Amino acid sequence: MESALDPKRFAQHVGSWLSGAGPESDVVVSCRVRLARNLEGYPFVLRLDDAQARELATRMREVLIGQHIDGETIWVGMDEANAITKLLLRERYLVSRDLAPADPRLATRPGRGVAFGENETLAVMVNEEDHLRLQSLSAGYSLHEAFERVRALDQALEREVPFATSPEFGYLTGCPTNVGTGLRASVMVHLPALGLVRSELEKVILSAQRTGLAVRGMYGEGSRAAGDFYQVSNQVTLGSSEEELIADLEQLVPCIIDFERKVRDVLLKEQKSAIEDRVRRSYGMLRTARSLATEVALLHLSNVRLGVLLGILPGVPLNELSQVAVQIQKGHVHMLVGDGAGRLSEATERDKQRAVLLRRRFAEFSA
How does pLDDT run across 261-312, given as a tens digit for each residue? Answer: 999 999 999 999 999 999 999 999 999 999 999 999 999 999 999 999 999 9
Report the alpha-carbon distance of residue 80 to residue 108 in Å, rounded.
9
Look at residue 304 in the predicted model and tell me its pLDDT: 96
Residue 287 sits in the same domain as residue 234: no
Q: What domain range is 187 assigned to?
A: 2-264
Domain boundary among 247, 264, 281: 264
For residue 285, being part of any structural domain is answered with: yes
**Residue range 103-129: average pLDDT?**
88
- 55 shares its domain with 104: yes
Query: In terms of domains, do 358 and 230 share one?
Result: no
In a domain, 367, yes or no: no
Q: How sure is the predictor about 224, in pLDDT bands with cuts at 50, 70 and 90?
A: low
* Best CA proximity match to 28, nearest among 138, 174, 159: 138
For range 97-119, the mean pLDDT: 84
pLDDT bracket for residue 226 (50, 70, 90): confident
- Residue pair 353/337 in contact (Cβ under 8 Å)? The answer is yes
> Total structural domains in the chain?
2
Do 260 and 331 fall into the same domain? no
Is residue 230 in a domain?
yes
Shared domain check, 102 and 62: yes
- 222 burial class (0-12, 13-18, 19+ CB within 10 angstroms)? exposed
Domain-embedded: residue 244: yes
* 366 backbone dihedrals φ, ψ, rounded to 5°: -130, 135
pLDDT (average), residues 217-244: 73
Write down which residue in 228, 243, 264 finishes a domain. Answer: 264
In this predicted structure, the answer to whether residue 218 has a pLDDT above a threshold of 70 is no
Same domain, 133 and 241: yes
Residue 154 covered by a domain: yes
Q: pLDDT tens, 157-173?
A: 999 999 999 998 899 99
pLDDT at 225: 61
